[in-house]
Structure 1
Amino acid sequence: MKIAILSGTSGLVGMQLLHQLMKSAQYDFILSVGRRKLALKHNKLIQIDGDLFKLSSWDWEGKVRSESLGGENHDLLDAIKEKKAEIHAFSSIGTTIKVAGSKEKFYAIDHDLVIGFAAWVKKLGASKFLYVSAMGADATSAIFYNKVKGETEEDLKAFQFSYLGLFRPSLLLGNRHEFRFGEQVASIVMKPLVWLKLAKNIRPIYDHQVAKAMVKTALSSHSSSVEILSSGQMQDLSK
């Protein structure tokens, strides 16, 4: 049995990830963990919600049972508890300093929530962890955003998953729920690179391309335990 556990589902890449996972015949269950449920139903999808900062203390089994009063999720619970499932975890948690309200709150979301999710899925038996980072991720960067992404990558390595995929997309294109002026301007300026198929590693990339690349990578075999995937690599994988 293969189980996908996803956090950050309501975001730009998260929604596309969910779509790709639901389409994949190789995943038997998809467990979405978030602060709220989506208005979406699917026979493979189980949604549990709550305060993600308290994820480690959730009664997640009780939450899963409450989503299947007829016992439909019994196989999922047994497979996880008895370590009979291959579990792949996907994290697309992320925000901006403007939306978060401060650097401290941004760090709490983009670092602490990701690391908390990783610790939780590791205890459940996840063998693979796939994380949406950023093109400039660097723990030594003078740019706060890039520094946080880089620190998160480094801290994820400490969990020693059988496979850790660090996906570093360039500017993301897609239908966001919130308006981001800077990204809108950048996408207009850089979109010709997409049309002309130039500068593959720095030109904008669509949300569905990142999602397709992540699912394809999760279902592949790997020669190394930690892999950094560039925007160009993701575009190639999504073809």
Structure 2
Amino acid sequence: MSRRIAFVSGSSGLVGMKLLHQLFQNSEFDWVISFGRRNLAIKHHKLVQVAVDFDKLDQVDLRENISNQNMGGDFQPLLKALESGSARPIAFCSLGTTIKQAGSKENFYRVDHDYVINFARMVMGLGAKRFMYVSALGADAQSSIYYNQVKGEVENDLKRMDFDYVGIFQPSLLLGERKENRLGEEVAKIVMKGVTFLGLFRKYKPIYDHQVAKAMVKKSLEGENSGNETVSSSEMHKMSE
């Protein structure tokens, strides 16, 4: 029997956590495999957590890792699907940080670019044909803003990979409960809420984390999609109405 599996990275982040819950609730997905530096403090019968070093994703043995967690035999159907090739994996990536959190531009690039591409290569090797990526409004490899430039480079590199479909989601300012307080973002959200209320700059209207997650899952299941598609923040608003 064919089983649909979600490969997820960035699960501990704002969008990533909401993405997990969307995938748990969606009957189309039998299993959700989360790749992260450490395990999350959540449990669900669909969830399998795999602790990884994102610098060494090429060394990950997924089946062995799952086998080591299969003490009660609950993951046997998943292992059979992976071994037989009957699994239909779809990859979701919301990896990202800030230059302040990373400590330097070099560290930021490693997380926001290299780790994303490493993850994409790994899941392609595991049979994923569809890849959903959380980018940012304004992403452009030619941008003078370093953050947008890196996001644009990632988009370009993903488009060159041999996926059947790459969905690139470009949210505006994200609303949701963050672990850390970003004062600049909070001020910007207040300003943009007022501006969009007046009907100006609608494409910059802030969007909730769960709206982005919902759009990603919805697009991932539209089997007729192929090639590369950029989904704007305003489109995500419409998809979640």
Q: Tell me the TM-score normalised to structure 1 length.
A: 0.96
Match of residue 76 from structure 2: 74
Question: 2:224, 2:179 → 1: CA distance?
Answer: 35
Equivalent residue number for residue 115 of structure 2: 113
Secondary structure at 2:95 match in 1: coil
Picking from 223, 234, 237, the partner of 2:236 is 234
Rounded Cα–Cα distance in structure 1 between residues aligned with 2:12 and 2:196? 25
Q: CA deviation at 1:82?
A: 2.3
Superposed counterparts of 1:1-239, under 5 Å: 1-193=3-195, 199-239=201-241
* Contact in 2 for aligned 1:138/1:146 (Cα 8 Å): yes
Distance in 2 between residues matched to 1:14 and 1:151, nearest whole Å: 21
Contact kept in structure 1, 2:196 and 2:204, CA below 8 Å: no
The one-letter code of the counterpart of 1:67 is Q
CA contact under 8 A between 1:171 and 1:204: conserved in structure 2?
yes
**How many angstroms apart in 1 are the aligned matches of 2:226 and 2:27?**
25
- Partner amino acid, structure 2, of 1:9: S
In 2: Cα distance, 1:137 partner to 1:62 partner: 37
CA-atom RMSD in angstroms: 1.4
The one-letter amino acid paired with 1:92 is: S
State how far apart, in whole Å, the 2-side matches of 1:44 and 1:182 are.
37
CA drift at 1:196: 5.9
Task: Assess, with a 3 A threshold, how the Cα gap between structure 1 residues 218 and 103 changes in structure 2: closer, same or farther.
Answer: same
State, as a whole percentage, how many aligned pairs show the same letter.
53
Mapped to 2, the partners of 1:220 and 1:196 lie a distance apart of: 34
Q: Residue 195 of structure 1: CA displacement?
A: 5.3
Q: Which runs of 4+ in 1 moved over 6 A?
A: none
Q: Is the 8 A contact 1:200 1:231 kept in 2?
A: no
- Secondary structure in 2 matching 1:126: coil
Count of aligned residue pairs for this structure pair: 239
Supply the distance in 1 between the matched residues of 2:51 and 2:195 (Cα, whole angstroms). 39
Measured after TM superposition, the shift of residue 62 of structure 1 is: 2.0
Alpha-carbon deviation of 1:192?
Answer: 2.7
CA distance in structure 1 between the aligned counterparts of 2:67 and 2:107, rounded to whole angstroms = 32
Alpha-carbon distance, 1:44 to partner: 0.6
- Is the Cα–Cα contact under 8 Å of residues 165 and 225 in structure 2 kept in the other structure? no
Contiguous gaps of at least 5 residues in structure 1:
none
Q: Distance in 1 between matches of 2:196 and 2:27?
A: 31
Distance across 1 between alignment mates of 2:66 and 2:202: 42
Deviation of residue 198 (structure 1)? 5.5
2:63–2:82 contact (8 Å) kept in structure 1: no
Structure 2 gaps, min length 5: none
Q: Counterpart amino acid of 1:15?
A: M
Please tell me the residue identity of whatever aligns with 1:62.
Answer: E
